[in-house]
């Protein structure tokens, strides 16, 4: 079997039951070339339905003005509620545990107001080393806000010398060593650099058994891998929607709060009127009465125009089914690995896939030993949209909603051409 044979890739596409979903997206054409798009882990492509939904909201605004809050085809007053069932399915929560609001880091800060409460010996945060910088900044600033020095109170776990992945056992060892000093474990569920998917179920239970609150940053997990946040007993989680959930640059984000934390009136929380009891919200009482769901962490009414593309994308997820998408994703990444291995063999190149085989979602990160930025620039010139991370890592994420096996095969041919000539 020649994995670079166009007929073979065509046979894989023909057997793909989800192939029609590709037609639901705009595939960028740059410099006259239809691109091979592998950066869904950074910004997902635009669903064609997004334009329709945004235009409908604009039309309703034009026709109804303020009355659109009640009479738009999707009334704006409860607009955020139109997402809960779909999001609950994506992250494995109950509808009352998920909310669309704000941005990822903003939501993490708001959640940590409630869930990072250092006291006594418990003053530390456990995280992954070299997490995405926004998480590093957020955690360090939370510590400083409480008068704590991040150098002393941030426990960071990284790969062992000579390795690329963080071993589950090393997280556990840190929990054993510092357990009664750790107030919060907050880790990226899928590492942005290597694409490693952590064992969230096991680590959540292990940390909570030591009395540690557990939160997950799911920026690279939501819409990508299977999540069961409620069943895993996760305390809280937050994610963005512009990556695998295809809702546009800077799209509104989402968060999860387990139901056991709902309805607690005295939990520390930054409060806003959209988190107040819906029945009395417009009587403007002086005292905040939290909605007895995750909605209690809401602050303000929703940005409808910004949320409309999210509804378009979630409609596609609902139709495709996450289990089906995950199954295709596994096939795409397996084929991508085969293509990379074939290209390395045919060109006598020393590539290293640093994404673990048994702990990955849609992303594969390729360490291109001996090659620098000119390789990546060539790929871009040939219409391959991927992601470069210094010093020499190319991140690629074939997304099951719109990526094809032919995309991967064509990329392999372009890569092989460069390597044979350099």
- pLDDT tens track for 278-324: 999 999 999 999 999 999 999 999 999 999 999 999 999 999 999 99
**In the prediction, which pLDDT does 373 show?**
86
pTM of the model: 0.96
Show the DSSP H helices in 181-321 as ranges.
Answer: 200-208, 304-320
CA dihedral 388→416→377→136, nearest 10 degrees, is 0
Q: For residue 237, what is the enclosing H or E element?
A: strand 236-239
pLDDT in tens, 114-133: 999 999 999 999 999 988 88
The CATH number that domain 6-46+321-420 falls under is 3.90.1150.10
Nearest C-alpha neighbor of 41 from the set 197, 272, 271: 197
Decide if pLDDT at 1 tops 80: no
Least confident of 31-35, 109-113, 143-147, 187-191: 31-35
Task: Give 250's pLDDT tier (boundaries 50, 70, 90).
Answer: very high
Average pLDDT over residues 217-230: 97
CA dihedral 350→347→355→394, nearest 10 degrees, is 90
Please give the C-alpha separations between residue 8 and each of 129, 302, 326, 331, 406, in angstroms, as whole numbers: 41, 47, 22, 14, 9
**In the prediction, which pLDDT does 371 show?**
83
Are 79 and 307 within 8 A, CB to CB? yes
Decide if pLDDT at 239 tops 90: yes
Are 183 and 177 within 8 A, CB to CB? no
Fold of 54-320: 3.40.640
**Strand 124-128 relative to strand 36-37: parallel, antiparallel, unpaired?**
unpaired
Please give the C-alpha separations between residue 417 and each of 247, 347, 382, in angstroms, as whole numbers: 35, 9, 11
Show the DSSP H helices in 15-125 as ranges.
Answer: 48-64, 68-71, 84-91, 104-115
Mean pLDDT of the chain: 95
What residue spans define the domains of the chain?
6-46+321-420, 54-320
**3-state SS, residue 186:** strand
Dihedrals phi, psi of 73, to nearest 5 degrees: -60, -30
Please give the C-alpha separations between residue 105 and each of 45, 147, 290, 292, 332, in angstroms, as whole numbers: 22, 20, 22, 24, 30
Q: What percent of the chain has pLDDT over 70?
A: 100
The 351-353 sheet, strands edge to edge:
351-353, 364-368, 393-396, 387-389
Rounded to 5°, the CA angle 310-195-342 comes to 115
Task: Give 349's pLDDT tier (boundaries 50, 70, 90).
Answer: confident
User: What length is written for the chain?
Assistant: 422
**In the prediction, which pLDDT does 420 show?**
87
Q: What is the DSSP letter of 269?
A: -
**3-state SS, residue 57:** helix
**In the prediction, which pLDDT does 33 show?**
84
Task: Give 421's pLDDT tier (boundaries 50, 70, 90).
Answer: confident
């Amino acid at each position: 079997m020649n994995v670079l044979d166009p007929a073979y890739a065509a046979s894989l596409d023909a057997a793909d039951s989800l192939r029609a979903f590709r037609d639901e997206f705009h595939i960028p054409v740059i410099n006259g070339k239809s691109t091979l798009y592998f950066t869904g882990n950074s910004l997902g492509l635009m669903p064609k339905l997004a334009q329709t939904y945004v235009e409908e909201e604009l039309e309703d605004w034009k026709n109804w003005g303020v009355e659109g809050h009640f009479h738009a085809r999707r009334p704006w007053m409860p607009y955020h509620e139109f997402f809960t069932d779909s999001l609950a399915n994506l992250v494995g929560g109950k509808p009352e545990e998920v909310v669309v609001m704000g941005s990822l880091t903003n939501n993490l800060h708001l959640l940590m107001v409630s869930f990072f409460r250092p006291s006594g010996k418990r003053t530390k945060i456990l995280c992954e080393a070299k997490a995405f910088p926004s998480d590093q900044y957020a955690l360090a600033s939370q510590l400083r806000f409480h008068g704590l020095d991040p150098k002393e109170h941030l426990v960071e776990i990284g790969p062992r010398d000579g390795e690329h992945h963080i071993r589950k056992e090393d997280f556990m060892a840190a929990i054993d060593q510092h357990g009664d000093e750790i107030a919060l474990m907050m880790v990226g569920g899928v590492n942005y650099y290597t694409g490693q998917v952590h064992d969230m179920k096991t680590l959540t239970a292990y940390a909570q058994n030591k009395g540690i609150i557990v939160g997950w940053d799911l920026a690279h997990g939501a819409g990508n891998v299977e999540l069961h946040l409620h069943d895993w007993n996760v305390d809280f989680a937050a994610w963005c929607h512009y990556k695998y959930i295809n809702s546009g640059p800077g799209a509104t984000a989402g968060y999860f709060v387990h139901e056991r934390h709902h309805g607690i009136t005295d939990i520390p929380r930054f409060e806003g009127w959209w988190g107040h009891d819906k029945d009395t919200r417009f009587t403007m009482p002086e005292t905040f009465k939290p909605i007895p769901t995750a909605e209690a962490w809401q602050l303000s009414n929703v940005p409808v125009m910004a949320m409309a593309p999210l509804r378009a994308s979630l409609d596609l997820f609902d139709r495709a089914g996450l289990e089906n998408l995950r199954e295709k994703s596994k096939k795409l990444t397996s084929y991508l690995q085969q293509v990379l291995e074939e290209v390395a063999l045919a060109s006598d190149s020393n590539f290293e896939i640093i994404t673990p085989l048994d702990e990955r979602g849609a992303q594969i990160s390729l360490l291109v030993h001996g090659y620098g930025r000119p390789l990546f620039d060539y790929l871009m010139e040939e219409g391959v949209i991927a992601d470069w991370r210094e010093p020499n890592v190319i991140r690629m994420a074939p997304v099951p909603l719109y990526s094809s096996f032919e995309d991967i095969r064509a990329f392999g041919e372009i890569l092989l051409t460069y390597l044979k000539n350099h």
